[in-house]
Chain A
Amino acid sequence: MPLDTLSDSPQSDVTSAMTFKDTELTLGIPGEPTRSPAGKFCTKRGFIETVDLNLRTSTSKPRGKTHADEVDDKSDDVVSGACKTPASKTQVVGWPPVRSYRKKALKSCKYVKVAVDGAPYLRKVDLETYNSYQELLMALEKMFTCFKIRGNYLGESKVIDPMKEMEYVPTYEDKDGDWMLVGDVPWKMFIESCKRIRLMKSSEAVGLAPRTPPRCKTTT
């Protein structure tokens, strides 16, 4: 099916991904006058725009061109990438169409106990609130501020002097009951299988090959 190209549209030079503009859908009852300062012809409010609209306003938002234009002007790059998922995708009400019961069931509130060798009491964290190992470890560091947690495998090189400060290795107990080093499996898999976390003193973590750059191996 031949698609009209809006080659004269001012936005067509914005994107290198030609395709979205080329496949741009237009709506409008035949005979309706075009009115669009941005030069677009009664553009169908796309999914991305809906995301933005839903975030910003209640359903009483003024519908139609002006609002869409505001969104369009700044979301061109996003709009042009309709074929690829925007990096930080926010949610549209009711999409994807999954029953809330199912959403709740799969969204397990994943609270796990965190024990630190030497600390008088344990803490609990909800793993679901973090998106990566980095975030989790940063949060743990905040929780147990007197300890420094070794996290070099995330690409940060923390040079830690084992003589001066206590160094801890984050480990966790998985569903099978085994104690594992935090960081080996993908984050999502980790959340699913982690039952509790223990920050183990480095001196005890003998035998666990740390996932650190080679020069740090000398510290174990």
Chain B
Amino acid sequence: MMNYFPDEVLEHVFDFVTSHRDRNAVSLVCKLWYRVERFSRQRVFIGNCYAISPERLIDRFPGVKALTLKGKPHFADFNLVPQDWGGYVQPWIEALARSRIGLEELRLKRMVVSDESLDVLSRSFTNFKSLVLVSCEGFTTDGLEAIAANCRFLRELDLQENEIEEKKNLWLGCFPDSCTSLVSLNFACLKEINLVALERLVARNPNLKSLKLNRAVPLEALQRILMRAPQLVDLGTGSFVLDRDSDDSETYRKLRGTILKCRSIRNLSGFLEVAPRCLPAIYPICLNLTYLNLSYAAGIHGSELIKLIRLCGKLQRLWILDYIGDKGLEIVASTCKDLQELRVFPSDPFGAGHAAVTETGLVAISSGCPKLNSLLYFCQQMTNAALIAVAKNCPNFIRFRLCILDPTKPDPVTMQPLDEGFGAIVQSSKRLRRLSLSGLLTDRVFLYIGMYAEQLEMLSIAFAGESDKGMLYVLNGCKKLRKLEIRDSPFGDMALLRDVGKYETMRSLWMSSCDVTLGGCKTLAKQMPRLNVEIINENDQMEFAHEDSQKVEKMYLYRTLVGPRKDAPEFVWTLV
């Protein structure tokens, strides 16, 4: 019946289909639908920039307006991928510019972005509106100058946790006076900022809803900025400190008054530097908060932290440091009944010390917050009993990431592995999509995962398992698996090669310090030409004997339609 509708009607119907996956499914129905869908697609998500080429993207989706690209593998976040591995955005921007694509939004994660890329970007797309860079590197404030100066209709500039070289502190002043369209600005990852330019920018952008400042913005400036932007929904403070100087009580009083007018703030973060005695100024807005991120607020702990939490009854997402302690988590559990997402980060991220939270805090959260569906928890220890209790209290996990600081630590009460505990989690949370394991774990946990984690898409394994069986349970059982990353686990060629076709159903597989050999990887590469099997050998260049029996230190494989990449550095060897 649909075949008799003109294309425009189909297109109109497809407009209502927004998720990438649904649109992908639509395009597979028939050739007609494929054709209509591809010309009408505006938003494209590419989870691995090496899976496809910019030319083919442009060819298939000439109407693309919003593009998301991801580069390096996830373990690059933890220094497991050497510098210069790849993930360059330059070819993408050049190709899009050449083809006169009407790009409006670009979102990049773990990619290498150069000043030149930003410059080309800023000049090539007249309607460019939104740039979001997450965990990227390779650019300086010069590149930001280009964006500010040339993107006349910029609405969003969101710099999240990037490594940016700061040269002159002028970029914010490069926004022309005519720039009044900003909705979202985040420069928290920079060290410096031009305060005068900032205040002027905020003053002339009345639609600003999200503003995340950096350390260089003092409290006095924050007060003036909030005066100009009481409509903010999302605020990241910079420095929240007042010295004991002559007029600080005046500033503090003004701040309190100004904050009272900011009735729209729902998300609060920052406090990169903080004097706890200034915190009461924000108490009035706490009761409306749905997202609170104190994970960089090393200066807030103890009773100050608790006082703050007690006021945040409507929180849905909470990111904190483990200063909160188990007792503090009990208070979270009794206060934040709507909590859906909790992330507890280690205050000592070098792992040399102790985490201040244990299984006790997690159990408390699970009993007080049954809506919990997303967890990231760095802790000192965990027990099976606790995990079983958590599984029972919270059957709705979508993301469950547990990191015990000592990654092979057993249940300290029973000295057993944590297989049963994680087994309970996967069995009870039927919609689990992402799982990270830690603690002492045998093959059994993988048996459970293979059996029960039917919706699992991403699995992170470290120092776990006993034999190839473990990995096989996962590969066989998890039909929806897309990303598998494994380090320091005894999985070898047998598991790797058992079902080579599986990898074309996945985005990528990372294995480092495991037992796969060069020979095994070569076999895989030969059998599967549409996989790039990359061997990463930064230190081994001299000594790598190229013997098939030699174990491979780091292997990263991913499906691709465009063969081995041409920008691979010397230390990356793509097997064919």
Contact = CB atoms under 8 A, between A and B. Distances in A.
Given A25-B442, A45-B488, A50-B513, A98 B135 contact: no
Given A23-B440, A94-B79, A63 B539 contact: no
Contacts of B299: 175, 192-193
B244 interface: yes
A14 interface: no
Contacts of A98: 78, 345-346, 349, 378
B462 interface: yes
Contact of B553 (A22, A30, A59, A106): A59
A102 B351 contact: no
Nearest to A19: B415
B462 A26 contact: no
Interface string B531-553: 00000011110111000000101
A170 B542 CA distance: 54
Contacts of A206: none
A28 interface: yes
B405 interface: yes
A164 interface: no
Contacts of B442: 1, 25
Interface in B197-215: none
Contact of A108 (B161, B275, B298): B298
Given A45-B488, A97-B77, A23 B403 contact: no
B467 interface: yes
Contacts of A145: none
Contacts of A94: 75, 78-80, 487
A25 B412 contact: no
Given A29-B492, A60-B544, A176-B275, A95 B298 contact: no
B457 interface: no
Nearest to A82: B408
Contacts of A23: 410, 415-417, 440
A39 interface: no
B462 A95 contact: yes
A47 B415 contact: no
Contact of A91 (B346, B347, B352, B412): B352
B350 A19 contact: no
A107 B444 contact: no
B147 interface: no
Contact of B419 (A1, A63, A91, A95): A1
Contacts of B75: 94
A100 B77 contact: yes
Contact of B351 (A19, A50, A91): A91
Interface string B384-428: 000000000000000000010111111010011101100000000
B385 to A, nearest CB: 15
Contacts of B20: none
Contacts of B241: 175
Given A19-B415, A47-B463, A59-B540, A82 B409 contact: yes
Given A91-B351, A98-B349, A192-B298, A176 B463 contact: no
B466 interface: yes
Nearest to B295: A102
Nearest to A47: B408
B247 interface: no
Interface string B297-317: 011010000000000000000
A98 B378 CA distance: 10
A46 B406 CA distance: 11
B192 interface: no
Task: Please indicate which of the listed interface residues A1, A48, A58, A95 has the most CB atoms of chain B within 10 Å of its own CB.
Answer: A95
A4 B336 CA distance: 45
Nearest to A103: B349
Contacts of B544: 60
A177 B241 CA distance: 10
Contacts of B537: 59
Contact of A50 (B409, B488, B494, B539): B488
Contact of B243 (A25, A106, A177): A177
A106 B320 CA distance: 13
Interface string B261-303: 0000000000010111100000000000000000110110100
A63 B551 contact: yes
A103 B274 CA distance: 18
Contacts of B348: 106
A175 B277 CA distance: 9
A22 B403 CA distance: 24
Given A27-B490, A102-B161, A96 B378 contact: yes
Contacts of A46: 408, 463
Contact of B163 (A63, A101, A177): A101
A105 interface: yes
A188 B298 CA distance: 11
A3 B162 CA distance: 46
A188 B355 CA distance: 13
Interface string A71-91: 000000000001101000111
Given A28-B467, A97-B77, A108-B298, 11 more contacts: A1-B442, A23-B416, A23-B440, A27-B515, A29-B467, A82-B408, A91-B351, A94-B79, A96-B405, A99-B161, A175-B241
20 contacts: A1-B444, A19-B415, A23-B415, A23-B417, A29-B468, A47-B488, A58-B539, A59-B554, A64-B551, A93-B79, A96-B403, A97-B462, A98-B78, A98-B378, A99-B135, A102-B345, A106-B347, A106-B349, A107-B349, A189-B301
Interface of A: 1, 3, 19, 22-23, 25-30, 44-48, 50, 58-60, 63-64, 82-83, 85, 89-91, 93-103, 105-108, 175-177, 188-189, 192-193
Interface of B: 75, 77-80, 135, 161-163, 189, 241, 243-244, 272, 274-277, 295-296, 298-299, 301, 345-352, 354, 378, 403, 405-410, 412, 415-417, 419-420, 436, 440, 442, 444, 460, 462-463, 466-468, 487-488, 490, 492, 494, 513, 515, 537-540, 542-544, 551, 553-554
Top-8 shortest CB links A-B: A177-B244, A27-B490, A94-B78, A58-B539, A19-B415, A98-B349, A101-B161, A47-B408
